[in-house]
Amino acid sequence: MKIHKDDLRNTNDAYVIPLGRDGQLHPDSLKKHIDTYTLNFKQWHINVLAPLCTVGKRAEYYNTYGTLTYILGIEVSSNQLYVTCSCKRRVEKLCHHTYAALKSLLITGGTDYFLKLSKILQNTQCTTSNT
Ligand SMILES: [Zn+2]
């Protein structure tokens, strides 16, 4: 099945990933959320994945590899993740930056990472000072 490029999602628009029972998400299940084409990009190795700020109920992270940095946005609502990336690639599902970042968060934070994040987001405000 071929999809016209214009029909693809801009990574700035949120991609929705349903969480499993009890808000769990397994790193392996992320593979369902990437395009076959995106699978070719294996060279995104995160060296910085730093929480940047929470704006309302949205968490943002610097997603950095070498000299490239994109902003990863995550919202958790109704047991679903809403994920954005500032790379503005046109993809059917997740871009490889987001895929690598989510995988890394789940591996380091545990499969209930996003459940924990949703609880944090309910209680925090953006505290970074803009310089
Ligand atoms: Zn991206």
Q: Ligand 1 is a single-atom ion; what residues have CB below 5 A from it?
A: 11, 85, 87, 95, 97
- Give me the mean pLDDT over the 72-92 stretch: 93
Distance 119 CA to ligand 1 centre (A): 25
Q: How far is the CA of 101 from the centre of ligand 1 (A)?
A: 10
Angstrom distance (rounded) from CA 12 to CA 72: 9
**Cα–Cα distance between 103 and 35 in angstroms, integer?**
15
Closest CA to 55 of 24, 18, 23, 84: 84
Read off the pTM: 0.82
* Amino acid occupying residue 36: T
| CB-CB neighbours of 59 under 10 Å | 21
Share of the chain above pLDDT 70, in %: 81
